[in-house]
Structure 1
Amino acid sequence: MEDKPRTDIPANFSREVFNMLDDLDQHLYFRWDLTNDCVSLHEPLPHRFRELPVYLPQASTQFWTERLIHPEDRPILHAYLHSIFRLGEKTITEHTRKASAKLRVRHHRGSYLWAEVHIVTYFDDGVPIVAYGNMRSIQAEKLWQQRMQAKADRDSLTGLLRKEAAIHQMRNAIEGFLPGRDHAAMLLIDADGFKAINDNFGHLFGDGVLAEMGRTIRGHFRTTDIKGRIGGDEFLVLLRNTQDTEGIQRHLAELLTALHHNYQSGGRTLPFSISIGVALYPDHGSSYRDLFAHADRALYEAKSRGKNQACVYQPKFYQEASSVANSRDPESTIDLQMRAFEDNMAEFVLQLFYETNSPEATINYAMSLLGRLYNLDRIVIARCDTKTGRYHDAFEWVGPDGGTLTGPEYTRMARERRRMILDEAHPTPYGVVSVCENTETLAPTHAKTAYFFGLKSYAYCIIPHGAETMGCIGVESTHPMTIRKELLRSLNLFSVLLGNILLPQDSSLALQKRLDLLADVLDHLPTPCYVLDNATKEVVYANAPSRASGNHNPDAPGQRKALLHEHTKDGHDLLLVTKNDEALSYL
């Protein structure tokens, strides 16, 4: 019998083994003459890279002009060139430098192929001379990763993006917008009546309603728009490249009609609809945070106007609130969010904070619900500076009969007003509170202050943070009001949430540091000068030369920086003035 040819099996890696593996992996080799800026590819080219030119003169330019590299990956090439040339400085001491990257190169018919590139650059006296590299396709690997990521990013019930993926994509898109060129719209969509359907018809029925919402939302918007489910029955959409407000409203009217149903089960019928809040880029904000807060406020307005409608944000929404007549049936006027807030404020606020990821939006919305729940005229949250002990208003909600107190005409009386309220604060089972059901019963001086502000009743609660006081939250009315225990309990709970979760603990530290630096700079000026509050003409700071001359020394040394800090935090215009009363500039 004739012996079969014997195959030589390599005992270790050899050139033959490497060549065979290389053929399977289809490496493309190239040489980049950095002195003359030309790239030559080593032939024969692997099948996947057959569309690339074999020789490329003026390579660093053609990579851009011929779109050989995907536009989003061009910064990788820019970083490589910057790292080897170092703006002409001979700072590179090694003879070679290695680099690797994953980017997309042009394939055929204008499409791009994911590739992994390795490159070795040779230097002569710090000057890059030539680079050798190889490139292999990782298209299958990248497509698999993208499919897995897309699957992980999708909500299985609605087919829309999950909350984290939607927010991430929207943030990236908004950061790439140019205010003078791009226009977009953020839509916050919330179901009306979903909880009743879920409670009465069951969770499986409710899941079907949410799935239908998802299908309808997907079908009503473009593939380029970003669509996500960010809560149980709350959805967020970012419309790109849109400027026609009337066109948006017509489109949303069609969506409202498509999702307006009467669901039936077991002989019972329940209505279902949606409400939509709209914020426009750049008119209503240039960041995700601002657009979401304004869309959220517009959504609240749509709910308060009767639901089943879309409302575009207007700045006046923060000063106006829709009145709720006492004669109406509470079941038909107070929406489900109001009832959820009343039943379990802590859970509602924490869920809202989780969904918005914005302390400001959470505080503003919770204040509006608290104001509606107790028929209040004004709610204010004041922060306390831990260094100076002075208060400043940080958040304000105004009801239909209330008025904002942020104008300069109230500046002179602000401290007296705060003293009137906080001097009466005392410990109670509901925290440290100050309560007055009729300000006409106060001492004459305080009653006069209350009359100036149109304040007839109030309840304030200190915001604790451990053993410290972060500020206070207060509710006010323009009429005498019975302060119920339920209101005090709500204030106390809200104050705990503010002190431990919602209010940042170090918001005044950066400002304090800047003001300390400003005071130090002013003290080292050779010329006597001082700082005025432009609204009240009150001297809030005098520099060291001015204090030495005995002029314009408003308070004791320990209080000068406190005054400067307080007036800056309150948002007042500050005016720097010389000893000759010549105004230099605004600070």
Structure 2
Amino acid sequence: METRAASAFINQFIEAYYLQHDVSKVLMMLDPQIRWSSVRCQRILNGKAEVEKMLTEAVNRKNYRIEVCEFKMEEIKEESNPFLVCYEIDALLIGENYQYSLTFFGSLTVEARESAFIIKEVYISMFQSEEQFNELLYKEMKDRKKRKQNERDYQDALYLKQVNDDLEVLTNNVPGGIFRCLDDEALTLLYMSDGFLKMLGYKRQEIKDQFDDSFRKMIDPRDRENIEQEVIQQMALGSTKQIEYRILHKDQRSIWVLDNGQLIEDPKGGYPSYYCIIIDITEEKKIREELNLALERYDIIMNQTNDVVFDWDILNDQLKYSRGLERIIPQTIPENNVKEFVFEAGHPLFHQADIPKLKRMLEKIKNKNSYVEEELRLQNSEHQYRWWRLRVSVQFDKNEQPIRAIGIIIDIDQEKQHSQFLLSRSQEDALTGIYNKMTAQRQIKSALASIDRKKFHALMIIDIDNFKEINDRLGHLFGDAVLSDIARRMKNVFRHHDIIGRIGGDEFIVFVKDMQDIESIKIKARQMLYEMHELQLNHDKQVPISCSIGIAMIPKDGDNFKLLFQKADQALYHAKKAGKNQYALYDESIINEYFGDTKVGSVVNEKIDSNENNKVLNGQLTEYVFRVLYNSKDLAEAIASILEIVGLQFDVSRVYIFESSHDGTYCKNTFEWCNSGIEPQIDYLKHVSYRDELGRNYIDNFNEDGIFYCADIHQLPEYHYNLVAKQGIKSMLQCAVMDNGEFKGYVGFDECRQNRYWTQDQIEALVFISEILSVFLLKNRAESILKQESTGLLDLLNNQNSWIYVIDPKSYEILFLNKKTSEYCQQAKIGMRCYHVFMERTSPCPFCPLKRLFESKESQNDEIYIPTFKVWVDVDATCVRWKGKEAVMLSCRDINRYKQK
């Protein structure tokens, strides 16, 4: 072993450990199984890993340096391997504010391995021997009091410095800002962290110069008094406060902050101090306000709708629902044991006929259907059943077992009633309100399959005599009125369970059920003939009104509809041939014998009103009306003039126009002309409810040509009669105003002096004039609405807190920019390409949602970074029609804060 090399190795260790504090270099000189004991550790370390951890921690927390003054090492003996080396180091321990002289004693066990050395054991101590330790201990005890005090002062100084350093790091890095202020009137600022200054945009000197170090002056004037009161209330309960208020920012805006503070008393008796942390909650406040508004809107919507939202916990059989359910049903549905409550025997909540539907829904849920829907009837507080649609979406656990059902109950009672009404209308004859041909035939066939053969039944065919003459002489509208009156009288003659239908223009069919004998069937036929006689007397016209009836008996003449119809038709033929105005029963043995009552004869004296004295040239009048409307600059003035001309030419009491409201629930008298001596009604008819005053479906009064003709208002339903009778009306004619098949109101002509029967020529002229008026009026109203909607839509888009723009999907040219987009991107103009202006590209973006939009035909949503705005946005892309062409609207919302989170 070379002594010089060993000595050099020891010197390298001393330099690396004491002077350089080079952990990696020290570790390279150690045996993997090194044993280490030193003043830095309280136990013997074994192995490089433990030594490395100790050395690294010592280096990381070092806040001093060691300066070696003298190094002494014992002589190395060459014959021993491994060999022990003892050394002594005199050094200076130098800190920021102190300096101490120290002596280190140590020993190293070193082993020579070929041409290298490795340390197997390290021992470092502050004492050279046990005697020295005892001597120092004695001296320590002697000077204990003084040294202990010095040490305490030193430790306190070190601790205080560490605390101050830590506090400085904490205050400058804590989210938000920290400040300290006196509890005086000005809230004088004593300390402000960097975060505090950064949050408000000021420098320390600026706060001193602008606010005179008064935190109170920095608070938004709107909040000063409120927070002072709030602080007083919170301080009465303790020494801490938590308040929200606005504080002035350097850029002239106010920001919302959350202030968490504590009041600390001054030990010297001065003003206490508030130590506070403030956090900027402006965005959070905005989101909370938006959420509150959204919740408020949701509450308003839920309070205004009859729909009910519910959440059923299937596993625990617990139910939560919106308060709208309490308005629907009188019972309180329990939150637990829901199924037991719903399916309780005899429970009136659901209609018993719908209980199987409920069970079917539960079975579908059990069979893993994620969506189920049914239409059910629920009993309301008035003990009436209303129709509701129940829609349920089901959630499943990882084992695909249903755990939760979330659904909505939608009021469809009006829809259901309307559907049933439409079904009824599809089965009824539009003019007379009785069954149409197909429905009557289907109903009779069904009745024939279940009749009681021990009773008597009959199939009657009723045909109006000389009906063509009535139409030719008095007009089709008069003929329609006669047919309607006949149908009404048939309902009076026959019973509600008899089947009555219209099978042709002037031909009716009746299936009479469950009569006691043939004579009772004959009585019904005679009653019908008498009703026709009464009808003629009421009209008192010179055209006779009567009917002929053919009857086939059941089961005598058969029980097959086709056969019975043929026999009844043959009987009708013979009744006609025998002179009309009578009935005939089918009988093969006496087919030529006729049965009937005495023929009823009548004379009609009064002639129909005509335009004989009016001398109205319809073509010239309609041409004049069109020319006045077409050339008019003031449509209202032109319409008023035309109503007067038409009223005078046709000599009516009143001419008027009613327009329907936007939602079709009521109508309003918008134009009126009254003849001499007729009281105006327009001021009393500003809001006439179709449902409450005119009946729910007022349009049903109009025939297929859009005409509602009533020669005598006594024929009207009571609710309608009460409305028109107080206006002095005796007869009325109305022409519907239609827009693309939608009922928009009507033009009307009232006669208040006598019942009036309009001729076909008069009706055709008035209908044509009404249509001309309707076209111009609807055009004018549509233009006004379109202008309002266009202005409203533009205002809506410009006031959105989103970047909204419309582009041509083919050329990517910008067609529209809302206000916010124009302000953020002032270089953007109509006609520019969106990818160039917003995305700073020369070609369409590869991630553009337009392609997916036109492939799926559904709106697209994506998150995109827009360089021009320098923000991440949530983009909704939707197909729209812009100025009559296909376009795409993109709505972009700022999501930068979420992306940052």
TM-score, reference length from structure 1? 0.39
**Which entry has the higher C-alpha Rg, 1 or 2?**
2
